[in-house]
A and B are shown apart, each in its own frame.
Chain A
Amino acid sequence: MCAIIVTMCKDILNAYTDFETLQRQNKITLNVKTPNVWKVTLLLHILLDERKTPKSLVVPEGKSTSKLITSLEIDKLIRCEFASRYSQEKDRNFQKVSHCPTSDVFNARLGNFYQIYQNWGIKKDDASRITALLGELGNNVFDHNLGMWPTGNIGCIIFGKNDPKQKMLEIVVMDFGVGFKKSLSSVFPKIKDDLAAIEKGLQGISGRVGETRGNGLKLIQKWTLNNFSGNLVIHSGAGLAIVSKKRMVKRKVPKITGTIVKLMLFYN
């Protein structure tokens, strides 16, 4: 488990190698054999960012890459150019990309996500806890961005990947919202940068002025690390934090609009 977390941390940091170059391209080629979840996440964020010129994803020939795209149903959200022959076979261990523009849609779909986790063979108590975590992540997106969305791209985008052999689940929740720094700046106007804002958020401090709240992210962190022995990755603005039980890795990374959160969870 520790080895997986260490490898995943390296994969996450390596995923930024060509990120800024990709952000400038109009056509992005998915040219990795078995892309890791964070790499796919970053690509998806670039492709869906309305502030950038419309982009398309070139999916070369190859069973694993086309299977990834069709399993996640990314081709239903963005323009994909497939090689002449591609597989329409889906991998049932992917939770397809779901765009929830409003909290009503998100809450309505939460029941479906709960069912997906149980269909993957995750025991009910774990599935319940995972769904509560996902619920809280989605709540944060709407609680901190409602009425303040910087672009027309509102709501949250969710997807997941199950590894039944490792009994490991990765869930991604991303948005094109204001980000941690702007959200917390109402309470902490002098907050230094995106990384400092993420750290404050993880301590249980909320940007909602005058409201007694802020425990959601702290609980997400606690359950992810303690109940699921996993890790939590947050990229907001130009700040990246990878939190595991043993340490927190913090980096400045290329800037994005909004926030991406990934949970890696080992279930029973």
Chain B
Amino acid sequence: MVTIKLRKFGKILNSRPFGAEAALRAKQIIEQKDERDSTILDFKEVEVMSPSFIDEFVKKLKEQYPQMKIDFIGYKDKPVIRDLLEELELI
């Protein structure tokens, strides 16, 4: 299992190209682990996120790892992030 802290990509996460690039970097992180059956995306300290970014990021991850389970944490005290994840049916 891998935990990816989105704040390491920035506190403001915007745009599809950035989401795609972030997914490529996330792949580098995942590939360092032997177990790749699940990944946790941690939104702690992320302050702004656009739907384009997270839609592209998760889509690209799922393309690379279709069988991998993706969980989301660190969003419960952030109504905007929570709304986005719900809107995109990720939680």
Contacts and interface: CB of A to CB of B under 8 A. Distances in A.
- Looking at chain B's contact residues, the main secondary structure is helix
A214 to B, nearest CB: 10
Given A114-B12, A215-B55, A103 B50 contact: no
Contacts of A131: 12, 48
A132 B80 contact: yes
A139 B80 contact: no
A143 B48 CA distance: 19
Interface stretch (B1-9, B15-23, B30-38, B65-73): B15-23
Interface residues on B, range: 20 to 34
A135 B18 CA distance: 12
B52 A216 contact: yes
A132 B15 contact: no
B44 interface: no
A17 interface: no
Given A128-B80, A213-B55, A139 B15 contact: yes
> Which of B51, B84, B88 counts the most chain A CB atoms within 10 A?
B51
Given A125-B79, A125-B80, A132-B80, A216 B51 contact: yes
Given A128-B47, A128-B80, A136-B51, A110 B59 contact: no
29 contacts: A103-B15, A103-B17, A107-B15, A111-B12, A114-B12, A114-B47, A125-B78, A128-B78, A129-B83, A131-B12, A132-B14, A132-B48, A132-B49, A132-B80, A132-B84, A135-B48, A135-B52, A135-B53, A136-B50, A136-B52, A139-B14, A139-B15, A139-B50, A143-B16, A143-B52, A215-B51, A219-B51, A219-B84, A222-B87
Interface of A: 103, 107, 110-111, 114, 124-125, 128-129, 131-132, 135-136, 138-139, 142-143, 212-213, 215-216, 219, 222-223, 227
Interface of B: 11-12, 14-18, 47-53, 55, 59, 78-80, 83-84, 87-88
